Amino acid sequence: MRRFPDGFLWGVSTSAYQVEGAVDVDGRGRSIWDTFSHTPGKVENGDTGDVACDHYQRLESDLDLLPELGVNAYRFSIAWPRLFPDGRGRVERRGLDHYDRLIDGLLERGVEPVVTLYHWDLPQALEDEGGWLSRDTVEAFAEYTATCFAAYGDRVRWWVTQNEPWIIGVLGYQLGIHAPGMTDLRASVEAMHNVLLAHGRAVQELRAGGTGGKVGAAFSLFPNYPATDTDADRDAARLSGEYVNRWFLDPVLKGSYPDDMRALYEERVGPLQLDGLDTIATPSDFVGVNYYTRRVMRAAPGREPFPWDVEPARPGVPVTDVGWEIVPECLTDLLMTLKQEYGDVPVLILENGGVFEDAVHDEGRIDLIRGHLAAVRDAIEQGVDVRGYCHWSLMDNFEWAMGYRARFGLVHVDYETQARTVKDSGRYYAQVARANGLEDE
Ligand code: FCB
């Protein structure tokens, strides 16, 4: 048996807009994802999160799935517009009460809450005033997070401030694939900077509130490799690493932005005002790692906005049903690099998973889980301080621009009937979690 450290968190992840539905229930305000998903052409098949998995109203029975999956942690997100329908100011009691019930329901079942404060559902009222392009949104976030810390800080020990600042910037502001749907490189850099400032402000609010608890952000991290062993491709891989990883890790953990990427951005969009780095670097307690796949980089001089190409999946490398390469050994690499560059910072894997279409007999997902857990275990053996692993996702759900087509769940959801069925991968994961270890190969 390849054991994991005592007290290892074995979890599953979801986020509010992807599972809750009940968008008009209990005084919830609108979010940018309501607006975006209802805009024709933005989400495959015209899907929206209006109903999703109806997790909001099926809370008790969904919580009962957790012990069945053998987990001792549940990472979920709070919907900001349920607590603050107008983004700031007036607090909606019914929204607050809902997450009270969720947290208490977890603790009753021996499951540790891991609470994400922002998983992309910005109140539309704030978007109307500039959203993440406005510093006022940073302060509204500080107010909202302080409310969460005061309400739940007596029971929640793990807080995740922001989910995937790069994805917010690249898909939401650079490519227009996610809400709010902008296509403006300068706006993307400014929005990501404000998201990082908001992270720092939330850390400050947690410390000021005095409830204790550990706090960090979740980053979408991709190890970057050169397509060939040329200087040009090696340079493309290094720069891509600054673009997707270090642009976030450096400010949070070192208080600075990487120089070459900053120069590249400024060549494209002009001088940037990236102040407040001391706020961004307010010491946090862990790094949240969301890992799905690698990037293989080829230099492409003259390509806009950046002088590189990301190679398609390599022949012979296994892929998920949406074509993402399944490369668990790159997760070990990534974790080792984190340790080398940033020291012994505690790590929580907060997302890892894949799309497999098989309804219930999902051998592909079992292999993916087995491989990635072995990779995490290898990193632990080499001295990386990994405290937990949360699989994405508890159940099939609204996968943003891909709608309901892309199924990531350990539990199958029949969207006609809302019936839940634990997949073979869910049973496999339960065994590993209960044993706190992987059977030997
Ligand atoms: C991540 C998101 C999560 C889910 C997975 C598949 O980028 O954080 O909500 O969509 O990808």
Looking at residue 337, its amino acid is T
If one residue of 392, 393, 398, 407 were mutated to test the ligand 1 pocket, choosing by the most ligand atoms within 8 A of its CB, it would be 392
- Return all residues near 130 (Cβ < 8 A) that are at least 6 apart: 136, 137
Is 164 touching ligand 1 by the criterion CB < 6 Å? yes
**Reduced 3-state DSSP string for the chain:** CEECCCCCEEEEECCHHHHCCCCCCCCCCCEHHHHHHCCCCCCHHHCCCCCCCCCCCCHHHHHCHHHHCCCCEEEEECCHHHHCCCCCCCCCHHHHHHHHHHHHHHHHCCCEEEEEEECCCCEHHHHCCCHHHCHHHHHHHHHHHHHHHHHHCCCCCEEEEEECHHHHHHHHHHCCCCCCCCCCHHHHHHHHHHHHHHHHHHHHHHHHHCCCCEEEEEEECCCEEECCCCHHHHHHHHHHHHHHHHHHHHHHHHCCCCHHHHHHHHHHHCCCCCCCHHHHCCCCCCEEEECCCCEEEEECCCCCCCCEEECCCCCCCCECCCCCECCCHHHHHHHHHHHHHHCCCCEEEEECCCCCCCCCCCHHHHHHHHHHHHHHHHHHHCCCCEEEEEEECCECCCCHHHCCCCCCCCEEEECCCCEEEECHHHHHHHHHHHHCEECCC
**Per residue in 176-190, pLDDT tens?**
999 999 999 999 999
Atom of ligand 1 nearest to the CA of 400: 10
Q: Assign 418 a pLDDT band (cuts: 50, 70, 90).
A: very high
CATH homologous superfamily, domain 2-438: Glycosidases (3.20.20.80)
Atom of ligand 1 nearest to the CA of 167: 7
> How many residues appear in the chain?
441
What is the whole-number distance in angstroms between the Cα of residue 324 and the centre of ligand 1? 13
What is the whole-number distance in angstroms between the Cα of residue 352 and the centre of ligand 1? 9
What is the whole-number distance in angstroms between the Cα of residue 346 and the centre of ligand 1? 22
Q: Say what the pLDDT of residue 187 is.
A: 98
**Spatial distance between the Cα atoms of 217 and 285, rounded to a whole number of angstroms:** 9
Of 170, 199, 200, the C-alpha closest to 187 is 170
Tokens of 76: 């979920």
Is 92 touching ligand 1 by the criterion CB < 6 Å? no
Is 220 touching ligand 1 by the criterion CB < 6 Å? yes
- Return all residues near 421 (Cβ < 8 A) that are at least 6 apart: 359, 360, 411, 412, 414
Is 15 touching ligand 1 by the criterion CB < 6 Å? yes
Strands 214-220 and 112-118: unpaired
Is 400 touching ligand 1 by the criterion CB < 6 Å? yes
- Return all residues near 316 (Cβ < 8 A) that are at least 6 apart: none
Interior/surface letters 141-157, b for 16+ CB within 10 angstroms, e for the rest = bbebbbbbbebbbebbe
Contact 145, 208 (CB under 8 A): no
Closest C-alpha residue for ligand 1 atom 9: 15
If one residue of 118, 399, 405, 407 were mutated to test the ligand 1 pocket, choosing by the most ligand atoms within 8 A of its CB, it would be 399
Q: Say what the pLDDT of residue 441 is.
A: 81
**Spatial distance between the Cα atoms of 164 and 77, rounded to a whole number of angstroms:** 13
Q: What percent of the chain lies above the pLDDT cut of 90?
A: 100
Is 163 touching ligand 1 by the criterion CB < 6 Å? yes
- pTM of the model as a whole: 0.98
What is the whole-number distance in angstroms between the Cα of residue 290 and the centre of ligand 1? 8
Q: At what angle do helices 185-209 and 259-269 cross, to 10 degrees?
A: 130
**Per residue in 197-238, pLDDT tens?**
999 999 999 999 999 999 999 999 999 999 999 999 999 999
If one residue of 348, 350, 351 were mutated to test the ligand 1 pocket, choosing by the most ligand atoms within 8 A of its CB, it would be 351
Of 29, 20, 34, the C-alpha closest to 76 is 20
Give strand pairing partners of 325.
Answer: 319
Sign of torsion over alpha carbons 330, 335, 340, 342: positive
**Per residue in 307-334, pLDDT tens?**
999 999 999 999 999 999 999 999 999 9
Q: Which residues are catalytic?
A: 164, 351
What is the whole-number distance in angstroms between the Cα of residue 396 and the centre of ligand 1? 12
If one residue of 164, 166, 195, 289 were mutated to test the ligand 1 pocket, choosing by the most ligand atoms within 8 A of its CB, it would be 164
What is the whole-number distance in angstroms between the Cα of residue 18 and the centre of ligand 1? 9
Is 126 touching ligand 1 by the criterion CB < 6 Å? no
User: What is the arithmetic mean of pLDDT over 243-266?
Assistant: 98
User: What is the arithmetic mean of pLDDT over 273-301?
Assistant: 98
**Spatial distance between the Cα atoms of 201 and 342, rounded to a whole number of angstroms:** 21
Q: How many CA atoms lie within 13 A of 348 on its CB side?
A: 31
Is 408 touching ligand 1 by the criterion CB < 6 Å? yes
Q: How many CA atoms lie within 13 A of 333 on its CB side?
A: 12
Residue in the structure block whose two tokens are 């204790």: 212
Tell me how far CA of residue 94 lies from CA of 20, 27, 53, 84, 314, in angstroms: 15, 7, 20, 11, 50
Contact 50, 17 (CB under 8 A): no
What is the whole-number distance in angstroms between the Cα of residue 116 and the centre of ligand 1? 13
